[in-house]
Structure 1
Amino acid sequence: MTAGVPTLLLLLAGAGTPRGLPHEREAVVGLAAGSGRPTSPAAPAPRYQPEDTVESVVSPGERFRIHFTRQGPHAVPAADADGSGVPDFVERVASTYERVATFYAGLGFRLPPDDTNPTGDDGGDGRFDVYLVDFARIGDGAFRQETCLDGVTRCTGFMLQENDFAGYGYPSDAEAVDTLASHEFFHAVQAAYRPGLGSIASEGTAVWATERFEPALDDLEGFTRGYMLTPDSTLALDPAGPGVAFSYGAGLFFQFLGERYGDGVLLALLEESVRQPEARWPVLLDTCLRRDFASSFDAAFALFATWNLGTGPRATTGFGYARGEGYAPVTTTSVGLPHAQERVRVAAAASRLFEVPGGASFVGASFEPEPGTDPAALHLVLAAVTDTAVLRVVTADGPDALRAQVAAGGATRVVVAVVDGRMEGLGRYGRLCIAATGQAASCAPLEAQDAGTVDAGRPVDPIDDPRTPADDGGCQAAGGPLAGALVALLLGGCLRARRRSRAR
């Protein structure tokens, strides 16, 4: 077997694990295969002390071997209520990893291959190894990759997990172990296909996986602010430095994919990564969406940006996310009416959002790309909203002129989003104009009607492309995936989604 590049994942929070902060950050550790396990003096911290007696037990389903010590800083809690001779905390870890692995296998995902290594430390056998060690409150879990069966794909490694969670921000050991096992073990699932997808795909899908495993956990909810604070940042490139929180926040995009297209789109993404080992994840996703879901990256991202208008206090029954009330609200820029801005920049796989007063009969907007700019994959979204609901949404799509209007009666605000659905490329500039009925502006509404309004109560999902037959299972044509479909939702504040009673 060829040695891969081990990866150490550490938390960015200095003390404890506040909800909504990343569990870990990635750093390349140059260790030879088999020398990085925490039982070795050559391993990077956290590792066991030379005087520690390290024991191990096999999980109930025999997929995992859990390693622990009862002494020193890495000691696990000693409680053994069932008198089995194995600490209760260790038994909880063992059973949780089994539940996580069974769940992911049930969704169709590959599990890590056997790690038997006759020339190095494999933890004693071919089972996946979990080492309980003290992260000293600067981390709480890590997956370290060791070897790949063909040097590129089908990789495996081992897990490090906090030994007691003392002083961390989790409400219980059960929630802590569920969160860490589901998130970190999904990194091992990713490696079983192809590592190296980048932090947005790696961390984003792991955040999705935790939510899919147990929706009652708060990880996704906490991480959403990492994306929603800066929706104008591109999903097409991994952030650097402190921007790592954005990668975790990108879990919201993968949550959208799962809700809109089903679990199969996440599975297809990883499977496609083996077929195209050099391709970037947006390209892999676009391939899967076109081949299997009659969609595209562009269409998916434009709809994702639309769903993001209905989160937090504006979560609305029938609009977007099933549990959007628990997600952070998207950041907008408030401007007055009329508003004209000569050079608005929007990055690939990003959106720029402006918010203006509502109350007028109609609010219209236009976005005119600078001369010579390719208008493909540009979208203009107008949403009439209140503080507690999304009332109506209208969308205009490139490559035609981006010009739309939305009925603003009963709305306290109107959100205008310029969305770029490309998978790569430099930012594009254009002139934005927003005006209400009766205002002298080039983008003011021209007619006293909203021709795009659909039947009251119709969900915004799905948005169909009228150029694509409904029974066509083939790929969507490139360019203008929403094809000028004017989608509106008339719901009213009384239909606002019920907020979950679970404590945050």
Structure 2
Amino acid sequence: MTRAAPPGIDVADVVTGTADTGDDRVASRFVSDTDLVAEVGDARVAPIDVVSGPDLVAEAGDARVATIDVVFGPGDARVLPIERPGARRRGTLVALAAVLLLPGLARAERPTEGGLWPYDPKDILATHDHPDGLRVHYSVDGPSVVPLADLDADGVPDYVTRVADTAAEVLALYRDVFGLRPPRSEAEHDLGSLGGSEALDIYLVEFAGAADGHFGHDACDPDACAGHLLLENDFAGYAYADLAEAVDTVVSHELFHAVQAAYVVDPPVWFSEGTAVWAERAYRPDSRDFLRLCDAYLADTGRSLFKPPAGPVPAFAYGTALWWDFLIERHGPEFVDALLQVGGTPDLPAAIAELLLGRGDDLRAAWLEFSAWNLATGPRAGARDSHAYAEQLAGVIAEQDGSSLDDDDRFFSLTARYYRLDHPGGPLWFGLAAPAPGLEFTLQAVAGGAPDGPVEPPQLAWDGADPEPRILADLPAGGFWLAAVNPVLSDMSIQAHLCAAATREALACVDPLPAPGSTGDDTTGEGTTGDDTDEPAPPERDACGGCRTGSPVLAWLLPLLRRRRRRVP
């Protein structure tokens, strides 16, 4: 939700800036060093030192109070679609200043009243009423003028008719397929007819590139809110393929915010924006916006699902749509209503875990499968189960890539990290510097022994409870992907130093082997020699130390690996 400035402050006069459009992020930047000072009564708000660059740092005296990664428009303002690398748009950062100055919900002014995106006095306004309880407000002349083509000669611009018809279809989908509540009406909050009727109001306005849609609150009670929609007046200069794609995308997204508001007042952004992006695909299965934003999640799977980066609305929050789509496909359309009913729970991740348990599911199991599906996306899709649109995604990014791996880091709750290994063939060793209980590992082969490409189902799975170096399996040469997944819901991360290599000596995270001849079996202390002196013997227990194998091919290998070999003296 858009944050309002304190009373008496004209935020529009405070600061403006530019919005940069890169490959997959819209980075808003202030272009001058300006101290923002706001007065509320006699109390002065701490000055905000706005620095140039992609990160905005707010300072109160010498204390740094916030680092804000400004990626997209604030609150419910829709993300700008990407036009082309290096393109630039001018945009007003008024809403951002409002976020900085006063957190909290407030009644949003409508474009006819002023607000962040007002109609210009030169706009000549008209309305179009849809029989399903919708009213579209638009300009026939002025800065917010809509495309005026009227091919059916009904006196209403075709673009306006398209917006109204699409909104009606979207609301019918939410009601009939998913069983969702309708948006709250003005009458339910005793607001009168704010838009001239009791219909849900949609305003077509010129965003000047700052956003392309917005849901604003008119009033809230403790449980829900009523509001109105804003939509770009013509989408000129935006990256959508055509007006149909633009309207389908933005209307379905913003109307889902209106539906959310019928359940919960102020849900966390990773839930509100992620489920709204899911709704885009629910209405339009070929949604490019959905795919693009899911790629933003796949680019950062080491970040906890419920802790997006700092900033008003980071791309990661939108990209959590991938998780919501996975869960809804797993549990059916009625699951959406159940999700929204718990959307206002203070500990939302725990509430979702309880919701899954009530449906015979388990968050840990669901997260492990979700993480496995995410690996099988983009160039690694096609050889195992995954998302229906897996090949259209960009795919995950390898944390490390090579013949061995060595990673010492924290693994946060509900995350996954992926490592690609070029294996020369033979034993594959794995070890941990210390136990890492709760961390789960899988090993997946690249199909056909290729260095990279479609991955097969997991061949081995094990946990981090046992840190001892061990041979996972004797494997053919080729590419393999190792996944490290934290499926545990917790505020604490898991510290782990893991390593894998083709030989015991190459494991970087464990103590090196004693030098040959330093110990022996006989009383003289002299070492013995034999055929195995250059290769340490596998442990007597299961070679993988608790691995779970899912491959029939490997099932016959494990007994061979259990054979006791003479230890190096």
Same fold (TM over 0.5): yes
One-letter identity of the residue aligned with 2:136: I
Residue of structure 2 equivalent to 1:56: 127
One-letter identity of the residue aligned with 1:301: W
Residue of structure 2 equivalent to 1:379: 440
Contact 2:374 2:396 in 1 (8 A): yes
Residue of structure 2 equivalent to 1:289: 356
Residue of structure 1 equivalent to 2:486: 420
Contact 2:106 2:217 in 1 (8 A): no
Distance 1:244 1:284 in 2: 23
Q: Does 1:14 align with 2:19?
A: yes
Which one of 291, 314, 334 corresponds to residue 380 of structure 2? Answer: 314
Distance 2:165 2:543 in 1: 57
Contact 2:281 2:290 in 1 (8 A): yes
Distance 2:308 2:340 in 1: 18
Q: How does 1:237-276 map to 2 (within 5 A)?
A: 237-241=307-311, 244-273=314-343
Q: Does 1:389 align with 2:454?
A: yes
Whichever of the two has the greater Rg, that structure is 2
Q: Does 1:74 align with 2:144?
A: yes
One-letter identity of the residue aligned with 2:445: A
Residue of structure 2 equivalent to 1:357: 422
Residue of structure 2 equivalent to 1:37: 110
Q: Does 1:128 align with 2:200?
A: yes
Q: Which secondary structure state, in structure 2, belongs to the residue aligned with residue 259 of structure 1? A: helix
One-letter identity of the residue aligned with 2:364: D
Deviation at 1:361, TM superposition (A): 4.3
- 193 and 118 in structure 1: CA distance in 2 versus 1, 3 angstrom threshold: closer
Q: Which secondary structure state, in structure 2, belongs to the residue aligned with residue 85 of structure 1? A: coil
Q: How does 1:487-502 map to 2 (within 5 A)?
A: 487-488=550-551
Residue of structure 2 equivalent to 1:221: 291
One-letter identity of the residue aligned with 1:300: A
Residue of structure 2 equivalent to 1:305: 371
Deviation at 1:395, TM superposition (A): 5.1
Deviation at 1:99, TM superposition (A): 0.8
Residue of structure 2 equivalent to 1:456: none
- 366 and 112 in structure 1: CA distance in 2 versus 1, 3 angstrom threshold: farther
Unpaired runs of at least 5, structure 2: 5-16, 27-70, 76-94, 512-535, 554-569
Distance 1:408 1:265 in 2: 42
Contact 1:394 1:486 in 2 (8 A): yes
TM-score normalised per structure 1: 0.77
One-letter identity of the residue aligned with 1:308: N
Q: Which secondary structure state, in structure 2, belongs to the residue aligned with residue 55 of structure 1? A: strand
- 139 and 338 in structure 1: CA distance in 2 versus 1, 3 angstrom threshold: closer
Contact 1:96 1:178 in 2 (8 A): yes
Q: How does 1:201-212 map to 2 (within 5 A)?
A: 201-212=271-282
Contact 2:471 2:543 in 1 (8 A): no
Q: Does 1:155 align with 2:235?
A: no
Deviations along 1:337-361, whole A, 9 cap, x unmatched?
44444x3321111122222113524
Q: Which secondary structure state, in structure 2, belongs to the residue aligned with residue 393 of structure 1? A: coil
Deviations along 1:318-345, whole A, 9 cap, x unmatched?
421111011121011234444444x332
Q: How does 1:477-496 map to 2 (within 5 A)?
A: 486-488=549-551
- 67 and 339 in structure 1: CA distance in 2 versus 1, 3 angstrom threshold: closer
- 242 and 104 in structure 1: CA distance in 2 versus 1, 3 angstrom threshold: closer
Deviation at 1:64, TM superposition (A): 1.2
Contact 1:349 1:420 in 2 (8 A): yes
Q: Which secondary structure state, in structure 2, belongs to the residue aligned with residue 207 of structure 1? A: helix
Deviation at 1:415, TM superposition (A): 1.5
One-letter identity of the residue aligned with 1:187: H
Deviation at 1:227, TM superposition (A): 1.3
Contact 1:393 1:487 in 2 (8 A): yes
Residue of structure 1 equivalent to 2:90: none
Deviations along 1:56-103, whole A, 9 cap, x unmatched?
11224x231111111111111111111100000000000000111111
Distance 1:100 1:397 in 2: 44
Which is worse superposed, 225-234 or 400-409?
A: 400-409
Deviation at 1:248, TM superposition (A): 1.4
Contact 1:380 1:419 in 2 (8 A): yes
Distance 1:17 1:263 in 2: 35
Deviation at 1:263, TM superposition (A): 2.8
Distance 1:407 1:256 in 2: 34
Aligned length: 437
Distance 2:506 2:234 in 1: 65
Deviation at 1:295, TM superposition (A): 2.0
Contact 2:364 2:487 in 1 (8 A): yes
Contact 1:313 1:329 in 2 (8 A): yes
Residue of structure 2 equivalent to 1:87: 157
Deviation at 1:265, TM superposition (A): 3.0
One-letter identity of the residue aligned with 2:395: P
Distance 1:226 1:251 in 2: 10
Contact 1:289 1:297 in 2 (8 A): yes
Distance 1:20 1:168 in 2: 14
Deviation at 1:312, TM superposition (A): 0.6
- 317 and 66 in structure 1: CA distance in 2 versus 1, 3 angstrom threshold: farther
Residue of structure 2 equivalent to 1:347: 412
Q: Which secondary structure state, in structure 2, belongs to the residue aligned with residue 390 of structure 1? A: coil
Which one of 214, 221, 243 corresponds to residue 142 of structure 1? Answer: 214
- 158 and 242 in structure 1: CA distance in 2 versus 1, 3 angstrom threshold: closer
Contact 1:233 1:347 in 2 (8 A): yes
Deviations along 1:187-222, whole A, 9 cap, x unmatched?
111111113221111111111111121111201211
Q: Which secondary structure state, in structure 1, belongs to the residue aligned with residue 396 of structure 2? A: coil
Deviation at 1:180, TM superposition (A): 0.3
Which one of 171, 181, 186 corresponds to residue 110 of structure 1? Answer: 181
Residue of structure 2 equivalent to 1:495: none
Deviation at 1:256, TM superposition (A): 1.8
Deviation at 1:51, TM superposition (A): 4.1
Q: Does 1:430 align with 2:435?
A: no
- 423 and 445 in structure 1: CA distance in 2 versus 1, 3 angstrom threshold: farther
- Over the matched positions of the two proteins, sequence identity in percent amounts to 33
Q: Which secondary structure state, in structure 2, belongs to the residue aligned with residue 74 of structure 1? A: coil
Distance 1:391 1:328 in 2: 18
Contact 1:360 1:409 in 2 (8 A): yes
TM-score normalised per structure 2: 0.69
Distance 2:128 2:330 in 1: 41
Structure with bigger RCO (C-alpha 8 Å, 6+ apart): 1
